[in-house]
């Protein structure tokens, strides 16, 4: 899951602060900019197109999330990133 992946990115002594700041800044930027970007893109895409601007914005971040997960798996297979749910023996 996303939360387990985020937790393992930070060392234990700064884990709570790191996760909370990263999560809240990400949600603030993506969620806060959502209506602005969707409204601006709605003028380009058009309301009667194949996909609406808010749906395109959501799908774009879904693809970005999937790329981050695939990238972390590739880094983990090369030994550059170790995540708890990929280790042989958790914790």
Which pLDDT band, with edges at 50, 70 and 90, does 67 fall under?
A: very high
Q: What is the pLDDT of residues 26-52, one digit of tens each?
A: 889 988 998 898 888 888 887 677 888
Inter-residue contact 41 to 53 (CB < 8 Å)? yes
| pLDDT of res. 63 | 95
**Alpha carbon distance 22, 78 (integer Å):** 25
- Share above pLDDT 70 across residues of the chain, in percent, rounded to a whole number: 86
Q: What is the pTM of this model?
A: 0.65
Which pLDDT band, with edges at 50, 70 and 90, does 25 fall under?
A: very high
Our CA dihedral for 22, 27, 28, 31, rounded to 10 degrees, sits at 160
């Amino acid at each position: 899951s996303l939360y387990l992946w985020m937790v393992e990115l930070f060392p234990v002594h700064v884990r709570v602060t790191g996760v909370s700041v990263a999560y809240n800044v990400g949600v603030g930027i993506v969620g806060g900019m959502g209506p602005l970007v969707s409204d601006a893109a709605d003028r380009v895409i058009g309301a009667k197109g194949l996909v609406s601007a808010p749906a395109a914005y959501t799908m774009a971040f879904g693809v970005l999330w999937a790329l981050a997960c695939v990238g972390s798996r590739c880094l983990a297979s090369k030994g550059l990133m170790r995540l708890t749910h990929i280790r042989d023996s958790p914790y």
